[in-house]
Structure 1
Amino acid sequence: MGPRNKTGVSQFLLMEVTEDPELQLFLFILFLSIYLVTILGNLLIILTVLSDSHLHTPMYFFLYNLSFTDICLSTTTITKMLVNIHTQNQSIPYAGCLTQIYFVLVFASLESCLLAAMAYDRYVAICHPLRYTVIMNSHICGQLILFSLFISILDALLHSLMVLQLTFCTDLQIPLFFCEVVQVIKLACSDALINNILIYVATSVFGGIPVCGIIFSYVQIVSSVLRMPSVGGKYKAFSTCGSHLSVVSLFYGTGLGVYISSALTNSSRKTAVVSMMYTVVPQMMNPFIYSLRNRDMKGALRKLSSKIPLFF
C-alpha cells in the first residue's frame, strides 16, 4: 500500500523548465552535463580519500561523507527534472513527490550538519592541537555522522507525515522544478499551521544552529591564529580552512539567495531557478574547491592519477 492523502490526489505538476521547444535539448544536455560532473567529481573525491592512507583523518572522513551526500542530493533533484524535460511531461505522482520531499530534506539537512562538524574539526585542530587526536577520535567522528543522519531522517519523516495529513485544492501546480515541502504546503486547502511551525523549527535547527556553530568556530580560529608568532604557521592554519570556508559560503550563500529571491520577486520562475541552483551548484563545485585549494588533496589526486591510465 502506497501513501494516501485525504483528497485522493494522484499527482502534482512541476514547473516546466522552458516553454521554448528549441531550448529543451540544450537544457537537457546542460543539466545532464552538470549532473555527470557532480557525480564524477564527488566520486573522485571519495575514491581519493579511500585510496590514500594519509587522508584517513577526521577532516577527510567528513569530506568523504559530504561528497556522498552531494551525490545523493543531486540525484534526488536533477534526475526527475531530466526525465520531465525528455518526456515533456511535468507531472509527478503523489507518492513520488512525497518521496522527493523526504530525501531532499534528509540530504540538505545532513549537508548542513556536516559543514558544522567540519568547522568544529578545524576549530579543535587549530585551537587545541595537542588534544586533537583525543577529541576527534574515530568513535566521536562516527557518532557525529550517525547523530547528524538520525536527526536529518527524523526531521524529514516528521515533515513527510505531516504533509500526509493535508488536503489539497484543485490547483496542484508546484512553482519549482522539484517537490519542495514549503511549496507543497502552500497548495493545501486544510490548516497547515503545524506544518509551518515545523518548518520554522527545522530552519532554526538545521540552519541557525550550524551557522552559529560555524561562526563561533571561526571566531575562535581567527583569534588563535592571530596569536601565532610565526607567519608560516598563520598561513598554514588559514590555508587548511580556506576550502571549507569556500564550501560554506557557497552552500549558505545560495540558500540565502533563495530566501531573498522569494521575498523580493513575484516571479515564480526566477525563484525556481534560484532554488534549483541551491541544490545543484554547491554540489557540483565542492569537488573542485577541495581538489584545487587543498594541497593534500592535490597530492593524493596526482598519486591516484599515476595509478589509473584513464587520467593520463
Structure 2
Amino acid sequence: MTPFGVSRLCFIIVILVQGNQAIDCLAYKSGNAVTIPQNIECTLSSDLDADTIVVSGTITITMSAEIIATTIDIQAGGKIAADAVVSGGTGKGNAHGSGGGHGGRGGSPANNFLASSDAIAYGDIFNYGMYMSGSEGGGTGAGLGGGFIHIGADDVTVNGILSANGGDATGSGGGGSGGNVMLDIHNSFSGSGVILARGGDGSGGGGGGGGGRISIAHHQTPSFTGDIFADGGLGGTTETTLSASGSSMSSSSRQSSNPDSYGYLGHHNSKSWRPSTYAGSYLEMSLGTESYVTAIKTKGGSGYYVETYTVRFYNATSSSWVCY
C-alpha cells in the first residue's frame, strides 16, 4: 500500500470513531430553548433548565436528571428515558437471581424463598428530597435498575414516552426494578402518551424486577388520557413452585387418600389435600425460617375446588393468629 493509501485509511477510521460518539443534549440548546429533532438521540448526564423543551427525538438519561422548564412537550415519537441505567442499589436482588426491589419487592428466583433483607421495597413518592432510582436484579446476567427523572414545569404534554424502566435479565438473572418518575405540574397536563416505571423481566430461573414509582402532582384538573404503568416484571421461563423442603404441613382434617402433605401442590402430580369436614377447615404450613409469601395457588379436580379462603399468620409476639 502506498503512503497515500495509508493516509486515506487512517483518515476514514478517525471519521468513523467520531461519528459514534454520544451527542450531548445540551448541544441542542439555543438561547433558552431546547429542541431535540426527530430521529436524533442525545445523552443527558446532568440537569436541564430551559424555558421551552420540545422532544421529537430521544433524550437518554445516563442515571438521574432534573428537567425544569416553563413548557415541556414530548411529541408523538419522542422519548425521554432513564431505562436500565443503575447498577447495585438499595433493593438489589440476591445472588440466587431474584428481581431487584423498589416500589415493590423483587420477584423470588426459582426454588428459593426471599430472605427479609432481599430485594426490598424502599423510597417515598411523597418526599421529593428522596431521589431514589431503581435497583439491579441479582444473579448472573441481572438486569439494571431504572433511573430517576424529575420534571417540573408550568405545562407538560406527553404524547410520546416518558420512562424509567428496569432492564430485562439474561442468563439466569433477575430483572432490574423500575426507577422513579416525578412530575410537578403547575398548570396543564395533557397528551395521550405513556409514562412508565416498569420492572424488567427475569431470565431462566430469575425473578421479575419490582415496579418503580410514578408521582404526578398537578394543580389543575389534567386532561392527560394516556397510560401509566409501574408494574413488576415477569419471572423467568424456568421458575417453578417454591419447594416446601424444611416445612411441615398440618390441617383441621383430611381424607385418608388426600393427607396434609398433599397440601404442597408439587408433592403429587394429580392429588391435593382434601379435608374430611369442610366447615372451618384449614391447612397450616410451618416454615423453618422467616419468609415472605408472595403468592398462594389453589388446585381443584374431580368436582372439588376452593371457592373462597382467607390467609392468616401466627404473630409470635401476641401469640395469636392474625388475618392478613
TM over 0.5: no
Q: Which has the larger radius of gyration?
A: 2
**TM-score after normalising by structure 2:** 0.23
Higher strand share: 2
**TM-score after normalising by structure 1:** 0.23
Higher helix share: 1
Higher relative contact order (CA 8 A, sep 6+): 1
